[in-house]
Structures are given as structure tokens and as C-alpha cells.
Amino acid sequence: MKKQYWIAPLALAAMAATGSASAQTVLKIGYATSQTSHYGVGSTMFCDDIEKGTQGRYKCQQFPSSALGGEREMIEAVQLGTQDLVNTSTGPLGNFVPEVKIVDIPFLFRDYDHARKVMDGPIGQDLLKAMQSKGLIGLAWTENGFRHMTNSKRPIRTADDARGLKMRTMENKVHMDGYRTFGIQPTPMAFPELFGALQQGVVDGQENPIPVILSSKFSQVQKHLSLTGHVYSPAALIISPVVWNKLSAADKTVFQEAAKKASAAQRKKVNDDENNGIAQLEKDGMQVIRQVDGGSFRKAVTPAYELYAKEFGAAKIQAIQNVK
């Protein structure tokens, strides 16, 4: 009896240890760029915070550089529950949540301050809520940044300079409608295919924020960079309802707070890359056009705004423009 008395606690301890190990849930989070990019910085902040906030009951396994597929495929996987989280630009998100397409309108946002106030305010929060009816849970708006044009053919200073260029775009009708007014031939293509397409001359150019141009090393395959700032590209940290619905109320709060910190970290990295990255791209051999005739692009895109007003409502567009 005495021997059994001592075995029981050992068995219980072993069971407890096994139970503790199985109680840890590892979540898969994917994004398009490298782990050192703005997406990686935001995702790492989120993952570190949920691990701390849940005392290790939840942790992440990160899949950078499109390891789980392009953004459209990752959003779909999160919707289906085969992937837990994605940190994605809004480019393909509008194909799942049509309301989100409004933020992809060219020249809608004045600057970063304006864009961030919109996304963090009532308009942006309503767009996050709209994801729920589409089988997605938006935790927070992160950021991709203002998009600029690169190409291998010629400098772009005016809208006319872009005419005739075959440029890769995201799989996003709002972008494509706008770019056609510049005379560009938009060529939708998944991001993982882009570097090779630029290298082989399948497309002349592409458009992305400075952090993406940097982290993707597009300076190796593109000669000209024009700081057009033609579209602000928000990003979203999205979790699968399959995971979300299993969380306790306390854990949901941990995830939401972690997402806010991730947003702040990702935006800071965008700021840093904007401030330092252009000089680095010049050092890498790109010819940078800083003084772009924004007025020519705004004038060219006017016909597309008539389409946008019909699709989204002129009042909704004006509401975004009116945010101070």
C-alpha cells in the first residue's frame, strides 16, 4: 500500500504534464512578404503578445513569403478554417468582402494620417465588422502603405508617361479600373509570380509600397521608381471563425489587444521603410522620380470616379474624404 501511495502522485503529475502539453494550440499565420518585412514585424508582435497573454496556451507558427500561397488563397483558407490567421493587403480581400473595395480607390486618401484615422475610426471599424458575414473575423487594420510605380522601360513623371506600360496589378477590379484611365495595361497576377514575371519581361512594371519593393528586392529587376502614391493600401489581420469561436471572452480580448499592438508595430515599420528605404533603393541602382505630377494622375482618374460613385455611393466616398 505504501508503494502505491507514492506511485499515484507520480502518475497524476505525468498526466498533468501531458494535459498541459496538449492544451497548447499552435496557430498558422501566413503573409506574402519576408519575416523581416512590415508584415513580419506586425505578425511577430501579434504572436509574441498572444503567447504572453495566454501564458503559452496559444502560440504561432509563421509562414512568410507566400509559403501558404498567395493572399487570395490564404484568405480563402482562413475562411474555410484550414489556415488560422492571415495578415493581408486589401487588394484581394474585396473579392470576399465587397464593402472593403472602397478603400482601394486611387487618390482617396490624402496622407498616412488621414488614412489611419479613417481605418481606426467608425468607417474602418464598420468594414472590419462586415467581414463577419463573409466567414472572416477582422481583428485590426494593419498596413501595407502608399503604392508607387516601378518599371523597366522609362521614368514616369506624368500620367501620360505610364501610357502603354504593361503593369502587374493585384486581382482587384477597383485598382484595374483606375489604372486603365492612366493608359496602363493592367495585368492581374498573384504576388508569388511577380518577381519572375518582372525578371522575364512578362510585364514591364508593378506598383507596391516601398516596404514591399524593398523586402521583395525588386531593385534587382526594375530600373525606375516613381513616387506616385496613387493608392493607399491598408492591410488586415484576420482570424478564422473556427479559431475565434473556440476562444474564451478573456482570450478574445488578448487577441484583440495583441492585434492593436501588431498594427502599431507594422505601421512604424512602414514609416521607417518610407523614411530610409528610398535612399537604399537608389543605392541599389534604381532611378527614383520624387517629383511626380500628381495632378495629371488625379485628372486622368476622374472618369473612374464616376464608376466608383455608382458602385459605392458618392456619399460614402465623400465621408472618407471628409475625415480630418
Q: What is residue 87's predicted lDDT score, i.e. its pLDDT?
A: 98
What pLDDT does 21 receive? 43
Burial class (CB in 10 A: 0-12, 13-18, 19+), 25: middle
Whole-number pLDDT of residue 6 = 44
Residue 225 confidence (pLDDT) = 98
Provide the pLDDT for residue 192.
94
Model confidence at 243: pLDDT above 70? yes
Percent share of the chain, pLDDT over 90: 92
Distance CA 217, CA 215 (A): 6
84-98, pLDDT tens digit by residue?
999 999 999 999 999
pLDDT over threshold 60, residue 188: yes
Strands 205-209 and 137-151: antiparallel
pTM of the full predicted structure?
0.90
What pLDDT is recorded for position 278?
A: 96
The pLDDT of residue 37: 97
Q: For residues 42, 43, 44 and 45, what is the CA-based torsion angle, rounded to 10 degrees? A: 50
- pLDDT for the residue numbered 290: 96
Instruction: Report how far apart, in Å, the C-alpha atoms of 139 and of each of 128, 184, 258 are.
Output: 7, 35, 9
Task: Tell me the domains of the chain and their CATH numbers.
Answer: 24-321 (3.40.190.170)
8 Å CB contact between 266 and 119: no
Q: Strands, DSSP E only, in 14-93?
A: 25-30, 58-63, 85-89
Annotate 205-242 with DSSP letters as a single string.
Answer: EEEEEHHHHHHTTGGGT--EEEEEEEEEEEEEEEE-HH
Mean pLDDT of 43-47: 98
Is the model's pLDDT at 109 over the cut of 50?
yes
Rg of the chain taking only CA atoms, in angstroms:
22
What is the pLDDT, as a whole number, of residue 15?
41
The share of the chain scoring above pLDDT 70, in percent, equals: 93
User: Can you give the pLDDT at residue 14?
Assistant: 41
What confidence tens digit (pLDDT) does each residue in 2-40 have?
Answer: 444 344 444 444 444 434 444 899 999 999 999 999 999
Name every residue whose Cβ is closer than 8 Å to that of residue 140 and which is 6 or more positions away in sequence.
Answer: 128, 236, 237, 256, 259, 260, 262, 263
Q: Please report the pLDDT score of residue 23 as a whole number.
A: 83
Query: What tens digit of pLDDT does each residue of 127-172 get?
Result: 999 999 999 999 999 999 999 999 999 999 999 999 999 999 998 9
250-307 pLDDT per residue, tens: 999 999 999 999 999 999 999 999 999 999 999 999 999 999 999 999 999 999 999 9
